[in-house]
Amino acid sequence: MIEFEAVIGLEVHAQLSTQTKLFCGCSTAFGAPPNSQTCPVCLALPGALPVPNEKAVEYAVMAALALDCDIQAISEWSRKNYFYPDLPKGYQITQFDKPYALGGGVEITGEKQTTRKIELVRIHMEEDAGKNIHSENGDYSLIDFNRASVPLIEIVSQPQLRTPEEAAQYLRRLRQILVSIGVCDGNMEQGSFRCDANVSIRPRGEKKLGTRVELKNINSFKFVTQAIHFEIVRQEQVITSGQSVVQETRLWDSNAKLSKSMRRKEEADDYRYFPDPDLPLLLIDSAFIDQLRRHLPELPQKKLARFVSEMGLSHYDAQILTDDHEVAQFFEQAMLHYHAPKTLANLLISQVMGWMNAHDQIINKIKIAPKDLASLAKKIDADEISGKIAKEILTEILQTGESPEQVMAKKDLIQIKDTSLIEAAAKKIIADNPKQHEQYQAGKIAVFGYFVGQLMKATQGKANPGLANEILKKLLDEK
Amino acid sequence: MQQWTLTETIEKLQQKKISSVELVKKALAAAQKQEYLNAIITLTSEQALAQAKEADKNRATGSCSFLGGIPVALKDIFLTTDVRTTCASKILNNFIATYDSTAVKKLSEAGGISIGKLNMDEFAMGSSNENSSFGLVKNPWSFDRSPGGSSGGSAAAVAAGIVFGSLGTDTGGSIRQPASFSGVVGIKPTYGRVSRFGVVAFASSLDQVGVLARTVSDAAVLLQAISGHDVHDATSSPMPVPNYSRSIESGVKALRIGVPKEYFSTGLQPEVAQAIEAAIQLYQKLGATIVEISLPHTDYAISAYYVICTAEASANLARYDGARYGLSLGREQGLASMYEKTRDAGFGAEVKRRIILGTYVLAAGYYDAYYKKASQVRTLLAQDFAQAFQQCDVILGPTTPTTAFKLGEKLTDPLQMYLGDVFTVSCNLAGLPGLSLPCGFDRQNLPIGMQLLGKHFDEPTLFRVARAYERETRWHHTHPPLFSGI
């Protein structure tokens, strides 16, 4: 049987986080009442003209810098013509043969920690369309133009991805970069970060590309993996059954978990692109680029390297912490309160993030503040609480939002440092375990751990571990 | 009363020899008397009278703006919030805009009072004003002739003395050609000089707002009122606007006037050629130097123009889809039916012809042969002018090859109609300012127009050269018999 290889390229639409739309002053806020954020320009009333939003250009250039693209001094706005009710002008303003950014790339990590750069073809700016809302019985449709003319960048990768997992990783990295520099909120549910995939397969070793299928509507990391995997297998089935793959656009149905043909190549629209005569050429001068470059926030890869070199974290931990911009931010804020990278990283990764995964939560929504995490770490390092107690306290904080001190008081978890209390408990344990005592005295030092365990158990883990060790050793050695 | 010009009337208003209300009433009366010209689509008597009263009141308290309550009128392509904007199309029938166009706002702030919205070719597509869903416009000089187009109503209303001036738009000659046919002055300024915001778009890279008036000085005053940068139009120029009246009487001594040899080839009506020849001689007498120049790519201008303007129009008119405003038919049968029925019933034949043509020239496989080629020709034409303007300060020629043609004469032959735009389209393709002024009459007593083309943003020289001729001639004081001026 022939072994196939998939060739995948992604087209990502990222919404730029500007306050206003690409060609008018209307708000871009999500969730407003339908058509409340519209004006003559984005409704395409007669005589209305587009005026480019400088902030959007700035964000777009920042994205291109972060992705290491070649920013074009001169680029051009074009009209993409097609009729659809959510497209008020009957054309979309986009960039066609002169996009503002070429080249660049996103690094992904392959097997054995090798990095591979997925190159970009281009990035261009464009406006979003509105939204059609269809009535349930199909009697009528309504149009909401709030989203019309919201600024987007479309990031087109080379077809250099080979597996659904690679595609998902590329997407994660790309999202992480855009979010970390503050130009996109990365919200896939609200459509601020959307993905189409071009998928083809070919026999492994073959140089020529197979017929490509465009997959639309794959708007979560989970769907990306599923939909691409489905498509690869579907194409394999088509070819092995003796047919050929048809060039077409397919729509992923996440409920039915399958893709359906939307239109075939011969039905494809002729968009009749031409330069938009309402808009002068877009000129981006090098001084503007340099200024943005100087103020560009730290990129995730750089942050990762810094976490390793300056904080002494393992590559693995640093990777986890920098994978999500908000997690990294949380970590660095906690560091401001207590500079203990390893303790904080351990707590954050194994406890907090573990809890987040289990409860399907994101870092910005959880009830613990960076300051409280720092305070817990400090208590651990000062031997005031054990790791086990720390976990208990954390779980409580995450559920109630109380401070570590409140939880410790409430749960009676304040550490026992009173030597007489510890000594009394230790004496009782030695007395209750004569056999182990004899073994210890006979030179079996390993049994010491058993006594420590018993002592901690007797004090519900609250005995100061240092003191517990010291007192036990003294008492056991005495006799 | 004498036949006052706009500039004279402003003085009379200031001297309180006449009131704005009187002027507006006269204009409204004339409009009604000459309704048969069909120059006006919507007459706004009440609003105009109310504004005139306001202007008179302001004058009394000394807070009157410089046009001070002069009646004017607007081509029905300018959006106005108080009255419908039809663009002479069924598809926009009874459309009331939610905002005013910048040009109208500026004119109104300057004290111009609009008495109504003027007839035109639908979506400014045409050279005869026969393509209007509100019917054709008659030429005040001869009722069986076209007043020119697309700003036919704007030209006829001024020529008939209804208003002192009007706003028009010029995409390939739509101000200058009707000005020529109707015997008035018309100027299309440099592309970017007047904001296009709130002007229904035909071909965005060519459309430019301008004015029509009885005299050169009047046109200068009106253009002054509407010129300037607009943040709502990314193609509008931030260049400061000079005072167009300041140097208008400076004459043409030592100025170099270029005469393109290509503008005197075959097809020129002999009387037109003679009138232009006489004008050239007069300029020589007035001290100008006449230079023969060449605009070698003139022959390709018409083709390039009709490719570019139709391409842009095909996209600009896509918004009239029946979904949001204007005419909407066939909704019950679904989306395709809404598009088809609305656009079929809403657009006239010429508009459909141009949308189809424009869609074709942009189509995959044809783009390079048509749109791209036309854009290259456009660059060559601009280079022609750049070279010519190294030898001269202004270019002179006929506005149109012939005087006003008969209504219906070219309606069945669109190509013949298009060819009549041979002298006017280059100016739009190169973004230059162009002015047409009366320079004589043919044997049938039809006005002849002379066109002056200037360097980018050199409107002052155009006005100055035009005024130097006007001062020596009486054409602008010769009015059609029906003239009802003050």
Tens of pLDDT, residue by residue over B341-368, are 999 999 999 999 999 999 999 999 999 9
Residue B1 has pLDDT above 70, yes or no: no
DSSP A153-207: EEEEE-S-B-SHHHHHHHHHHHHHHHHHTTS----TTTTSEEEEEEEEEEETT--
Pairing state between β B289-293 and B208-213: unpaired
B372–chain A Cβ distance below 8 A for any pair: no
B201–chain A Cβ distance below 8 A for any pair: yes
Within the 23-82 window of chain B, which residues sit less than 8 Å (CB to CB) from chain A?
79
Residue B230 has pLDDT above 50, yes or no: yes
B85 vs A46: CB contact, 8 Å cut-off? yes
B29: containing domain: 6-229+399-410+420-477
pLDDT of residue A76: 98
pLDDT of residue B485: 65
Q: How far is B233 from chain A (nearest CA, A)?
A: 6
Q: How far is A67 from chain B (nearest CA, A)?
A: 29
% residues pLDDT > 90 (chain A): 68
Spell out which residues of chain A touch residue B376, defining contact as CB-CB under 8 Å: none
A79–chain B Cβ distance below 8 A for any pair: yes
B383–chain A Cβ distance below 8 A for any pair: no
% residues pLDDT > 90 (chain B): 92
Q: Which helix (H) or strand (E) holds A216?
A: strand A213-216
Residue B64 has pLDDT above 80, yes or no: no
pLDDT band at B417 (very low <50, low <70, confident <90, very high): confident
| A–B interface: beta-carbon pairs under 8 A | 98
pLDDT of residue B233: 98
Instruction: Return d(Cα B271, Cα B267) in angstroms, integer.
Output: 12
pLDDT of residue A104: 98
B222–chain A Cβ distance below 8 A for any pair: no
Spell out which residues of chain A touch residue B97, defining contact as CB-CB under 8 Å: 45-47
B318 vs A46: CB contact, 8 Å cut-off? no
Spell out which residues of chain A touch residue B124, defining contact as CB-CB under 8 Å: none
Q: How many domains does chain B have?
A: 1
- Whether B260 maps to a domain, the answer reads no
pLDDT in tens, A438-469: 888 888 888 888 988 888 888 888 888 888 88
Mutate to test the interface with A, among B100, B316, B339, B367 (most CBs of A within 10 A): B316
A90–chain B Cβ distance below 8 A for any pair: yes
pLDDT band at B48 (very low <50, low <70, confident <90, very high): very high
Mutate to test the interface with A, among B169, B321, B367 (most CBs of A within 10 A): B321
* Residue of chain B with shortest Cα separation from A275: B312
Q: Are A105 and A59 in contact (CB under 8 A)?
A: no
B318 vs A91: CB contact, 8 Å cut-off? yes
Mean pLDDT of B331-338: 94
Q: Are A186 and A179 in contact (CB under 8 A)?
A: yes
Q: How far is B174 from chain A (nearest CA, A)?
A: 18
Spell out which residues of chain A touch residue B101, defining contact as CB-CB under 8 Å: 47
Residue B236 has pLDDT above 70, yes or no: yes
* Residue of chain A with shortest Cα separation from B237: A280
Q: Can you list the positions of beta strands (E) in B7-127?
A: 40-43, 70-75, 112-118
Report the CATH number that the domain containing residue B72 is assigned in CATH.
3.90.1300.10
DSSP B343-371: HHHHS-HHHHHHHHHHHHHHSTTTTIIII
Residue A335 has pLDDT above 60, yes or no: yes
B314 vs A46: CB contact, 8 Å cut-off? no
- Whether B374 maps to a domain, the answer reads no
Within the 414-453 window of chain B, which residues sit less than 8 Å (CB to CB) from chain A?
none
DSSP state of B227: -
pLDDT in tens, B357-397: 999 999 999 999 999 999 999 999 999 999 999 999 999 99
pLDDT of residue A455: 87
A443–chain B Cβ distance below 8 A for any pair: no
A272 vs B314: CB contact, 8 Å cut-off? yes
Residue-averaged pLDDT of chain B: 96
| Residue B395, both tokens | 């270019």
The partner residue sitting opposite A272, judged by closest CB among B204, B233, B359, is B359
A85 vs B318: CB contact, 8 Å cut-off? no
B366–chain A Cβ distance below 8 A for any pair: no
The residues of B assigned a catalytic role are 75, 150, 174
The partner residue sitting opposite B99, judged by closest CB among A40, A91, A273, is A40
Mean pLDDT of A314-333: 91
ipTM score: 0.96
pLDDT in tens, B210-226: 999 999 999 999 999 99
pLDDT of residue B2: 43
Angle between helix axes B6-14 and B216-226 (nearest 10 degrees) is 70
User: Where in chain A are the domains?
Assistant: 4-288, 298-410, 419-478
pLDDT band at A477 (very low <50, low <70, confident <90, very high): confident
* Residue of chain A with shortest Cα separation from B371: A274
Within the 254-293 window of chain A, which residues sit less than 8 Å (CB to CB) from chain B?
270, 272-274, 276-280
pLDDT of residue A466: 84
A280 vs B201: CB contact, 8 Å cut-off? no
B315 vs A50: CB contact, 8 Å cut-off? no
pLDDT in tens, A255-285: 899 999 988 877 778 999 999 999 999 999 9
pLDDT in tens, B9-24: 999 999 999 999 999 9
pLDDT in tens, B163-183: 999 999 999 999 999 999 999
Identify any residues that bridge with A226 across adjacent strands, giving them in sequence order. none
The residue among A255, A243, A1 whose CA lies nearest residue A234 is A243
A52–chain B Cβ distance below 8 A for any pair: yes
B337–chain A Cβ distance below 8 A for any pair: no
Instruction: Return d(Cα B451, Cα B430) in angstroms, integer.
Output: 15
Residue type, B153: G
Spell out which residues of chain A touch residue B96, defining contact as CB-CB under 8 Å: none
B335–chain A Cβ distance below 8 A for any pair: yes
| pTM to 2 decimal places | 0.90
Mutate to test the interface with A, among B232, B309, B344, B356 (most CBs of A within 10 A): B232
DSSP state of B406: B
Within the 127-166 window of chain A, which residues sit less than 8 Å (CB to CB) from chain B?
143
A81 vs B314: CB contact, 8 Å cut-off? yes
φ, ψ of residue B60 to 5 degrees: the values are: -60, -35
Q: How far is B374 from chain A (nearest CA, A)?
A: 12
Spell out which residues of chain A touch residue B428, defining contact as CB-CB under 8 Å: none
pLDDT band at B3 (very low <50, low <70, confident <90, very high): confident
pLDDT in tens, B93-121: 789 999 999 999 999 999 999 999 999 99
pLDDT band at A308 (very low <50, low <70, confident <90, very high): very high
Q: How far is A102 from chain B (nearest CA, A)?
A: 23
Span of A409-413, B110-114, B201-205 with lowest mean pLDDT: A409-413
pLDDT of residue B486: 62
DSSP state of B16: T
Q: How far is B418 from chain A (nearest CA, A)?
A: 22
Q: How far is A280 from chain B (nearest CA, A)?
A: 6
pLDDT band at A312 (very low <50, low <70, confident <90, very high): very high
A51 vs B314: CB contact, 8 Å cut-off? no
3-state secondary structure B126-174: CCCCCCCCCCCCCECCECCECCCCCCHHHHHHHHCCCCCEEEEEECCCC
Span of A73-82, A175-184, B57-66 with lowest mean pLDDT: B57-66
Mutate to test the interface with B, among A35, A43, A49 (most CBs of B within 10 A): A49
CATH code of the region A419-478: 1.10.10.410
Q: Are B452 and B460 in contact (CB under 8 A)?
A: no
Q: Are A332 and A321 in contact (CB under 8 A)?
A: no
Mutate to test the interface with A, among B74, B81, B324 (most CBs of A within 10 A): B324
pLDDT in tens, B266-294: 789 999 999 999 999 999 999 999 999 99
Q: How far is A8 from chain B (nearest CA, A)?
A: 27
